[in-house]
Structure 1
Amino acid sequence: MAVFNQVEFDNHEQVVFCSDEQSGLKAIIAVHSTALGPAVGGCRLWNYATDDEAIVDVLRLSKGMTYKNAVARLPFGGGKSVIIGDAKSIKSEELFRAFGRHLERLGGSYYSAEDVNITTGDVMMMHKETNYVLGLEGKSGNPSPYTALGTFLGIKAALQHKRGNQDIKGLKVAVQGLGAVAYGLCKHLHEAGAELFVTDINQASIDRVVTEFGATAVGIDEIYDLDVDVYAPCALGATLNDNTIPRIKAKIIAGCANNQLAASRHGDILRDNNVLYAPDYVINAGGIINVYYETNPEGYNEAKSIKHVEGIYDTLLEIFKRADEENKSTHHIADELAREIIANGL
């Protein structure tokens, strides 16, 4: 596998392959940029079909973190890590401590944190071997509620731009994926009066949201065909592609998943279809913003964190406005904004 020839390789500073025979650890760490500070981004545990699939994911995710941290005005660069395997069978203290030792060897160029299938408890086990982890219990803790809050505010920003008001009551929202962040998003939407249509590969997750929030469950593939106001991609990436975009009736796409566009051109297609797309790494930055406030010398401050997360609303309004003024898709404007901040500093 030739990393340098991967389409997703973007002059990453480091790509590190990690293994530990005793624990069974197989992991990849990608440091995209340290221009604004040490690379920070979560660790994802996923049962990738191939090593190439894992490489593509970690390369895309780490670049996304560079842009996410820049647009969120955080003094962090971008990085990401993936552990390869089935979360139901490979988790162990030995595995996470082995991964922590690999983090320690990087000497602080990359800080890891919670992501898909990784809990704060798992991060605490990594912490037994390294200080280069964030989102610790007793400090900023679980980032999911803050990512959910930022995504909810992002939907409100999209409504304000598209419709001239933020009214959620009666809004029909299709939520694809019901992990920890999406559950929090559904809670916010339900409390604001939205009508929810949901799907997930985990039946228990569906049942919980149906029971607690009165959501309507639909099939995995059916989610794209619903006549709704907002489509919220909250599962894994690339769900906006040649096959799905022609089926989506929603005029706002705003969710918490990473890498929602299968390719950049799909963002252009959405604009051509008069669909307002909230760039994923902008709308889902609440978690990493909250983690940042763990690093403050005076200690974690939730009030300051929430105020910063609330700024996602204004950032998205700025991006939407610039996209209209410059006749460009929103994801291009977000990328340009990120590159401006990286070049000029915070």
Structure 2
Amino acid sequence: MKAISYRAYGGTEVLEFGELPDPKVGPDAVLIKVKAAAVNPVDWKAQAGYLDSVLTPVFPVVPGWDVSGVVVRPGPDATEFAAGDEVIGYVREDFLSRGTFAEYVAAPVRTLARKPANLSFEQAAGLPLAGLTAYQALVKALKAGQGDTVLIHAAAGGVGSMAVQIAVHLGARVIGTASERNHDYLRGLGAEPVVYGDGLADRVRALAPDGVDAVLDLAGGEALTVSPALLKDGGRLASVADPAVLGLGGRYVFVRPDAADLTALTELAESGVLTVEVARTFPLEKTAEAQRLNAEGHTRGKIVVTVD
């Protein structure tokens, strides 16, 4: 199969496009013909070795965890899916090796759900990691719900835009930090936007004088450090960007593959609650270029690699 891979840690210069053996399919896995795979910051961070303490690489590593595609063949105990089923997945295993920037990926069924019927393969590829991160942080870690005021840092990004939509669906009032050029976008999603930078705490207090019930930090750094003072008594704090949240009494969230949660996202997409904005697409052989654009951090929406 054609695939992107790397044989040593590094930047985009270590990525190779070429032939690799087709993946073997385990008993509780399915072989997927990849249609699209979204690029996420964790892809190039793992590739640089930043996750070496928790995920062992088995070189050559095929990067990528997000996927949408069509089941080619289920394993003997993978009764959840049949050949021809359209699926999405957050295909993260406990090591780095069998990723999604390839013509085929062998995916454990615990990482998969059916593809939303109303999304294109490109849109669907952008749903799993970002959607699961937002869903698990809001629903499981912060327990956000009806009547809450939720502050979301970096609300216009891939995870942030999902989080805004989910929080609004849960019945929360949402305040979202973002650059001014994305304020109309956030208003369209149902959030009240505020600008980053000096005076952020004052701007949030102007909208929520009594404090907020929950903060979801997707930025880290200064956005996180000002957050505890913006919470009501008993307020909840979670971060997916900065483990320093643990020292502030909050929860650190590292997204997990979860078929039930992914199915919930499919249902939210099909009911019109969740939309996925695709900023740009690149063919598989241009994955390095897609990764470079993602690392710049200025793109609104998902960057997606398509597989012909």
Give the TM-score taking structure 2 as reference length: 0.45
Give the TM-score taking structure 1 as reference length: 0.41
Which one has a larger percent strand, Structure 1 or Structure 2? 2
Greater relative contact order structure (CA < 8 Å, 6+ sep): 2
Which one has a larger percent helix, Structure 1 or Structure 2? 1
